[in-house]
Structure 1
């Protein structure tokens, strides 16, 4: 909760729970995040501490501005509190004043948010997969058959004393169940909430079996009216329904209610990120407690932002990441955002796409690691990844970010023609060093090194040939060149040889480009991926249009990656069809040669090129004519069996 009036109301409830006019208690009694406080000296846990905000209630509190912080310290002195705790501060807030005032950060669990970007079941299927969704639905339906569901506005709680009493009793028993720790939901605390500014936005949800209350909790609508905070719930563990995981079933019901009410997110509070992912959370905001206490050492320095890559072009070093992308990790879901100049009456389509794609990057790395040859990605994180609107867009970004006019770009024909095209558009001289060997799989490494290119673009597996480059030559080139090596792996999922993505963590001059258009079947979603060290990713982000990766594309990508079984199976089918087609074409009288392929296409040299191509066009079959790159050749994409058989039949009548 980011509004000061809401935080004041929560602090009033905390004082009521503590039975005090001021929020002063020991950290041990407060019972907040024992894991974060476990390393502290026991004396720190037992000293009176002034608590800022409503620690046990609020999802997070903004870092106090300097004037508010000074007032907090003066209040601590007046109350003779030797310690001050500012809990649950987002790391994206300005914490400089806290550090300067002698506060020390203590890492705690992140706050977790489920963003409702569509119908609930569609969202959850894309986040947790169909099996987990079926489990959530099953629990929800089983509980709904046995128990009623009711929501009571807190400002009208006086009319339902049974709900108030049951809520207090269940939370008292929950506190006892957890060792008799602090219970922030006493009768006095609940009454304080019911009489404060949150009363009209807060509801109690209750499940009953007959007249017996089995579960009671609280939710609050955000002050911007766009989402729901899940504050608490307690369950009667003696009831048979408790074994059906009422907590999970009720969250699913809250998602449905929120979506029906036009809300866009549900805040699940703080907790283990992996557990919350299984409940559909897709936004995780890192938090710290900030504590000022006698004997605590100076605040440790956070890891600095990664230095910009030494390969960034001079103009790029002089500009920051464009404004919106610079603040991509700063969540705005629970603020009133009047900064975008969009139409508020035509939402949600009028809103700009999400820029924080860290969770989607984690999903991508997890899904790709299931592809053979990709089990060495454990050293990569979201900081090593940049999404672009297609891998071709990634080529344009890296050329603009890393090369200045006059600096050479090396390509290795036959190769993807847009490499040279974009280089020339950007006034970069292009050096062509053709591939060698009968299968066009060997680099002329010495010529490439002699050209001293700023950027060398390799396509592996090669398009249009389909072969893989000699791996030792590629690694030698990455090690010896003074420039950047870019390996376009658009087709690597179809290869039996490993990806180069795992080497990104070892080399600051290596960029691996990937796409979801080919093996993952998302050409319409326009999603490319650049994998590189964070300093290179930062350089690319400085020239990228901030909102090119749309919410619709992000949703399609998340759905495909989460539910990857079908895509992975299709990759195996394509490889099998490729091998079948290669064998059939190799013995066809119209074909002079089939090049070996580790992609989802075959490069074929024809005996009577013009005649065969004309016949295929007449048969309604389109293949790529690559004769301008390699004489008498065409590139044939691997289709389904029916399409492939149609091609073979048409070829039989071509001569």
Structure 2
């Protein structure tokens, strides 16, 4: 692969980042008269730690990775956007992404004026490794893989991902948003070997913190320093940092939530098999199921009328006729089954 320095945009390489008051001094038990803060209404009158040091220490312990391998952002979308701004020259460079997958990779590319080359998965939603590598050229700086993939739900074969990492000259961005449901499949232990790898994870799924907007990127310290150079000075607010720190003390709660979601997914899978209008339930390593039906839009609209909202994915590549159903609470899942039971009666009348 090319070195990070070779891949970096020249203007980013030359960038002198903004130096905030909390960059120049960090610590506690001090009289802070350096940042033009209001002396009243503590602790919210103070700017947050721009590098989220305490929070990263906790994450480092849980993920078993040094804290200088961690970037925290306003959702994973911030890390995605920074990757474009760090490595992709607008109007010149391109990225490669699988299809179907998480839509923000394409949106962020469009915002940054970067060409996206989409490579369809196989009919079984597996990677076409050779086609993905063939889609790259000397101006391909980023390659996006989401595993477990959204909306298909399946994890990709580790050997396929490794082949891509080892044969692509740019940066591979591996989005592991749903990895807490299959933690043994994470590539975090491989980060020290692969310096061209960025791993995205989130607190929105297994940790139940979608509302606080906290995303993680794991990469070599060199890449993390670049991300910190580009990000806005106080990108993660004090409320988000405090809430995350409090919730990270309850790892057992998260493990129990994951266990219950996986059990409920198994129950849902069995229940969905009972409906004649559902023709296929795809394997899933995430907290949702993708199902193929004979009338995706009709079922979606009917359930909305019943107060149950799922996701119609029938317009997505390779997902014709498909609905994506998130695993909810027992009460929510029962509401889904009630709605599907009523729909079943309408088509069997």
**Does 2:131 align with 1:435?**
no
Question: Separation in 2 of the partners of 1:339 and 1:613?
Answer: 55
Classify 1:416/1:611 alpha carbon distance in 2 versus 1 (closer, same or farther; 3 Å).
same
Question: Separation in 1 of the partners of 2:289 and 2:102?
Answer: 15
**1:193-247 CA distance string (max 9 Å, x none):** xxxxxxxxxxxxxxxxxxxxxxxxxxxxxxxxxxxxxxxxxxxxxxxxxxxxxxx
Deviation at 1:447, TM superposition (A): 3.7
Question: Separation in 2 of the partners of 1:645 and 1:615?
Answer: 16
Q: Residue 4 of structure 2 contacts residue 196 of structure 2 at CA under 8 Å; is this kept in 1? A: no
**Does 2:333 align with 1:644?**
yes
**1:93-144 CA distance string (max 9 Å, x none):** xxxxxxxxxxxxxxxxxxxxxxxxxxxxxxxxxxxxxxxxxxxxxxxxxxxx
Question: Separation in 1 of the partners of 2:234 and 2:45?
Answer: 13
Match of 1:348 in 2: 43
Q: 2:136 aligns with which of 445, 448, 451?
A: 451
Classify 1:385/1:573 alpha carbon distance in 2 versus 1 (closer, same or farther; 3 Å).
same
**Does 2:221 align with 1:526?**
no
State how 1:192-203 maps to structure 2 within 5 Å: none
Question: Separation in 2 of the partners of 1:512 and 1:445?
Answer: 22
Classify 1:653/1:544 alpha carbon distance in 2 versus 1 (closer, same or farther; 3 Å).
same
State how 1:73-84 maps to structure 2 within 5 Å: none
Partner secondary structure for residue 230 of structure 2: coil
**1:601-628 CA distance string (max 9 Å, x none):** 0111111222211210111000011111
Partner secondary structure for residue 45 of structure 2: coil
Deviation at 1:349, TM superposition (A): 1.9
**Does 2:235 align with 1:545?**
no
Match of 2:80 in 1: 395
Deviation at 1:320, TM superposition (A): 3.0
Partner secondary structure for residue 20 of structure 2: helix
Classify 1:332/1:466 alpha carbon distance in 2 versus 1 (closer, same or farther; 3 Å).
same
Q: Residue 388 of structure 1 contacts residue 549 of structure 1 at CA under 8 Å; is this kept in 2? A: yes
Question: Separation in 1 of the partners of 2:54 and 2:36?
Answer: 27
Deviation at 1:646, TM superposition (A): 1.5
Match of 1:423 in 2: 109
**1:623-651 CA distance string (max 9 Å, x none):** 01111102111110000112112212211
Deviation at 1:364, TM superposition (A): 1.0
Partner secondary structure for residue 260 of structure 2: helix
**Does 2:264 align with 1:577?**
yes
Deviation at 1:356, TM superposition (A): 4.0
Partner secondary structure for residue 361 of structure 1: helix
Classify 1:442/1:564 alpha carbon distance in 2 versus 1 (closer, same or farther; 3 Å).
same
Deviation at 1:340, TM superposition (A): 1.5
Q: 2:315 aligns with which of 600, 606, 628?
A: 628
Give the number of the structure with larger relative contact order, counting CA–CA contacts within 8 Å between residues 6 or more apart: 2
Question: Separation in 2 of the partners of 1:445 and 1:562?
Answer: 43
**1:323-367 CA distance string (max 9 Å, x none):** 129827x42434433332232344432221122423321211322
Match of 1:562 in 2: 249
Question: Separation in 1 of the partners of 2:199 and 2:145?
Answer: 10
Question: Separation in 2 of the partners of 1:450 and 1:432?
Answer: 8
**Does 2:9 align with 1:322?**
no
Question: Separation in 2 of the partners of 1:523 and 1:578?
Answer: 20
Match of 2:195 in 1: 508
Q: 1:407 aligns with which of 75, 87, 93?
A: 93
Q: Residue 325 of structure 1 contacts residue 355 of structure 1 at CA under 8 Å; is this kept in 2? A: no
Q: How many residues align?
A: 337
Deviation at 1:493, TM superposition (A): 0.7
Partner secondary structure for residue 386 of structure 1: strand
Question: Separation in 2 of the partners of 1:331 and 1:482?
Answer: 38
Deviation at 1:599, TM superposition (A): 0.1
Deviation at 1:464, TM superposition (A): 0.6
**1:519-557 CA distance string (max 9 Å, x none):** 001111111111000111111112111112111111111
Q: Residue 443 of structure 1 contacts residue 470 of structure 1 at CA under 8 Å; is this kept in 2? A: no
Question: Separation in 2 of the partners of 1:639 and 1:450?
Answer: 38
Q: Residue 436 of structure 1 contacts residue 442 of structure 1 at CA under 8 Å; is this kept in 2? A: yes
Match of 1:383 in 2: 68
Q: Residue 44 of structure 2 contacts residue 238 of structure 2 at CA under 8 Å; is this kept in 1? A: no
**Does 2:44 align with 1:357?**
no
Deviation at 1:308, TM superposition (A): 6.8
Deviation at 1:574, TM superposition (A): 0.5
Partner secondary structure for residue 232 of structure 2: coil
Deviation at 1:495, TM superposition (A): 2.0
Deviation at 1:441, TM superposition (A): 2.2
Question: Separation in 1 of the partners of 2:4 and 2:158?
Answer: 29
**Does 2:160 align with 1:465?**
no
Gaps of 5+ in 2: none
Question: Separation in 2 of the partners of 1:562 and 1:441?
Answer: 37
Question: Separation in 2 of the partners of 1:335 and 1:312?
Answer: 38
Gaps of 5+ in 1: 1-306, 369-376
Question: Separation in 2 of the partners of 1:570 and 1:310?
Answer: 43
Match of 1:252 in 2: none
Deviation at 1:445, TM superposition (A): 3.1
Query: Scaled by the length of structure 1, what TM-score is found?
Result: 0.50
Question: Separation in 1 of the partners of 2:61 and 2:273?
Answer: 38
